[in-house]
Structure 1
Amino acid sequence: MGNKNRNPWLAIVALALGAFSISLAEFLPVGLLYEISRSFDVSEGTAGITVTSTSILAALAGPILTLAIGRLDRRVVVLGLSLLLIVSNAFSMITTHFFVLVIARIILGISVGGFWAVAMTAQAQLVPQEKIAKATSVVLGGFGIGTVISVPLASFMAAHFDLRIVFTVGCMLAIAVFIIQFILLPRIPMDQGVRGKDFLELMKTRKVITVFFIAILTVGGQFAAYTYITPFFQNVTGIGPDLLSAVLLVYGLVSFISNFAAGFIAGRSLKGLLVGTVVIFLISLLGISLFEDNVVISIVAFIIWAIAWGMAPLGLQLLVYSTAGNAIEAMSPIYVGIYQLSVSLGALIGGLVVDMTNVTGAMWLGTFSFALVLILLTITTTVNNNRSLVSRTE
């Protein structure tokens, strides 16, 4: 273990707060697309660039920064990335030009990708070996809470306040988190960094490539549809802003809770978890796509969708763990890059479909993506039911 800290769990909480503030900032625009479109006079598909630009840079920043920082003190790296988060929120808060907003989101992407590239290895240096899994769950818990409240919070605030107030709240939170991290994080030296050949060796493995395809289709399918769920409910289903905020909040809460159910299922069958998750995705998205103008069916299908999305990240993470073996430190930043790239590709392609057809087209695109995942999971032998991989991560 690296530098010992009298109160290592305070440092872990500081990292979890970083995960919370970064995930909140990353996904706020999903609940703001309509307001961004109206405020900056761009189409809703174009407004989706505020999601894709962040994810593209995050996908690139993860592996690149992992190589660039080498053995640099992870405390310095985390604080630097938190400063970038503050800068991004500040630009988003003050700008009146869409181009500048996109630049701010690009800066955020560097912070997001860099944070996830170093956070998992950094927290492992702060606690004893037997506590690493618990520390990881705390950090990922911060991310989970951020994703749960980001969209409903943005939707609620945009309905009652100016758009820039939302970014102001994000900026204030980022400043508070930086101060907490500055106080609580100790030095986190690393014995060695990841080498380029470590990445290359992984990318030559067929099982690794299969896992990445599953991740791309799953995450891409999610964000091809979910990025445009706010304009879908507003323009197609006709839900008012207050009801929409409540529905989005329920979605987030159900997703958060279903994550725990995913752990229970994974302990018995990882492939069962993954296949079951994809089937739930298909049922919910088909319901929304086929009954788009029915308020009750659309809301019920959306909540069912929340169950699937709550289980998907854990299932994918366990799949990565089971495939990487001893190469997890090298595979993690690649997976971060793949994950973020999938967010951007899903939102981008979904935006193109929205502009070419309508918002419901994004829901059908997500349905098609999950149909491909189900086929891939059915025919692949990559996924096994090894319970030991679950126990290593709990």
Structure 2
Amino acid sequence: MPKQLYLLMLTILVVVMSELQIAGMMPEIANDLGVSTSQVGLLVSLYALGMALGGPLLAFAARHSPPKRSLLLVVAAYAILEILVPLIHEYWWLALLRIITGCLSGAAFGLSVTFGARLAPSPTRIGEAVSIVLGGIMVGTVIGLPLSHFIAGRWGWQASFYVLGAAALFLFIISALALPHRAAASQDDAAQDVRNLRSPRLWSRYLVSLLTIGSAYAAFSYFTPLLEQTAGFSSDATTVILLGYGLCSFIGNLVVGRFADRHAVAVLRFGHALLFIALILLALFGQVSPLVVITVFIVGLAGVTMNPALVTRVAEVGGTGNLVSTVHTAVITMGVTLGTAISAVTISLFGDDPAVAMWTGVVFAVLAAVVLAMQTARRPLPASA
């Protein structure tokens, strides 16, 4: 496979790390800016909202442009804005730039996946090529949150933005030199991609993706305060636990990817059940440290790791075109937005207790399981009918 695919993987990795960095340093940002934990949690939602709404718009605007030029412009703009975040010590400034960088990150995600498909040696190996690009999700999940937590604890939360901005600038330079030129998508390909988005079955599967990721992030976004304030772990111990969470996510992605093609529905049912049980235990027994560690790892195994199964079900009815894939990314990040935002609201209503976020995740998991059951309960008519 072309080595340039790994540059696209690194682009996804930086995007995922940027998405997770706020969740890894909530207490530091809240104390420094003089805001509540729930307000800092909303920054995760704002970033995801930018990805969900701005990402598809930028991808649509760039649908007739060469992929290399579009991707480089997005990465360069992201790097500059990430470095600008710490320059003004105000919550509103941080919130504004998180929205804009979220838009750029959503576009970078979709453009990287599309570019990866164009770099495949043959049409029969597109899936293999795209899987390399999406490997950035797993690696970013493993190191993103614990790394931002570690950096914030040592040098302040602002340093995390400088590090990611510098990494993006370096990636821009290497990509400008190494990525090959590819022509823009044809008019026919773009038109077919738009037509695929009209399928009601596609949007019903998008809904399962939204609720599933919403369940994971409703809880995950508040793991740091849960571990430190409720379970009583130190900052260093929390970093190690979050690293373990990331490693479990890496393992879970490998396992789900192995079974997603043939058993997508079964994988999702099992994952929803694990999320339901683990989040209830976290909500009820958040003070029991050993149990908290185990259940956090279970959420790592069965949370965002359901992505391969979700992608498989979407591709079955909508294909793998640029807009279908980018809109699916937008729907998933909208799940991040809704999960985190609703948790922020419920926490504010019920005493700023991170356990409330776990209950919010439980509700999302139940809804996802119900919608999936309604879809799979329908049986196709016999061929003679």
Which TM-score applies when normalising by structure 2? 0.92
Structure 1 position 131, deviation (Å): 2.9
Identity of aligned residues (%): 25
Verify the 8 A CA contact 1:45 1:355 in the aligned structure 2. yes
Q: Which amino acid aligns with 2:33?
A: F
Runs of 4+ in 1 over 6 A off after TM superposition: none
Verify the 8 A CA contact 1:21 1:177 in the aligned structure 2. no
Is 2:369 aligned against 1:374? yes
Structure 1 position 282, deviation (Å): 0.9
Is 2:275 aligned against 1:298? no
Q: After alignment, is 103-112 or 271-280 more displaced?
A: 103-112
Of 115, 126, 147, the residue aligned with 1:153 is: 147
Q: Where does structure 2 lack aligned partners over 5 or more consecutive residues?
A: 380-385
Change in CA separation of 1:94 and 1:209 when aligned onto 2, cut-off 3 Å: same
Q: Which amino acid aligns with 2:41?
A: G
Structure 1 position 382, deviation (Å): 7.9
Verify the 8 A CA contact 2:193 2:322 in the aligned structure 1. no
Is 2:25 aligned against 1:32? yes
Q: Where does structure 1 lack aligned partners over 5 or more consecutive residues?
A: 1-7, 385-394
What are the equivalent positions in structure 2 for 1:17-28 lying under 5 Å apart? 17-28=10-21
Structure 1 position 72, deviation (Å): 0.7
Query: Hey, what's the Cα distance between the residues in 2 that align with 1:126 and 1:216?
Result: 29
Of 166, 174, 187, the residue aligned with 2:181 is: 187
Query: Hey, what's the Cα distance between the residues in 2 that align with 1:166 and 1:69?
Result: 30
Q: Partner of 1:387 in structure 2?
A: none
Q: Partner of 1:389 in structure 2?
A: none
1:199-220 superposed Cα distances (whole Å, 9 cap, x missing partner):
4x44543311211211111111
Q: Which amino acid aligns with 2:317?
A: T
Q: Which amino acid aligns with 1:219?
A: I
Query: Hey, what's the Cα distance between the residues in 2 that align with 1:207 and 1:195?
Result: 20
Q: Partner of 1:350 in structure 2?
A: 343
Is 2:126 aligned against 1:132? yes
Change in CA separation of 1:29 and 1:53 when aligned onto 2, cut-off 3 Å: same
- What is the aligned length? 375
Q: After alignment, is 33-42 or 92-101 more displaced?
A: 92-101
Verify the 8 A CA contact 2:213 2:303 in the aligned structure 1. no
Q: Which amino acid aligns with 2:116?
A: Q
What are the equivalent positions in structure 2 for 1:1-394 lying under 5 Å apart? 9-128=2-121, 129-192=123-186, 198-199=193-194, 201-309=195-303, 311-325=305-319, 328-357=321-350, 358-381=353-376
Q: RMSD between aligned alpha carbons?
A: 2.0
Structure 1 position 93, deviation (Å): 3.2
Q: Which amino acid aligns with 2:335?
A: S
Which TM-score applies when normalising by structure 1? 0.90
Query: Hey, what's the Cα distance between the residues in 1 that align with 2:291 and 2:60?
Result: 48
Q: Partner of 1:391 in structure 2?
A: none
Query: Hey, what's the Cα distance between the residues in 2 that align with 1:88 and 1:255?
Result: 29
1:125-169 superposed Cα distances (whole Å, 9 cap, x missing partner):
223223322211111112221122111111122222222122221
Verify the 8 A CA contact 1:22 1:85 in the aligned structure 2. no
Structure 1 position 373, deviation (Å): 1.4
Q: Which amino acid aligns with 2:300?
A: A
Q: Secondary structure at the match of 1:32?
A: helix
Query: Hey, what's the Cα distance between the residues in 2 that align with 1:332 and 1:264?
Result: 20
Structure 1 position 62, deviation (Å): 2.6
Query: Hey, what's the Cα distance between the residues in 1 that align with 2:141 and 2:378?
Result: 27
Q: Secondary structure at the match of 2:35?
A: coil
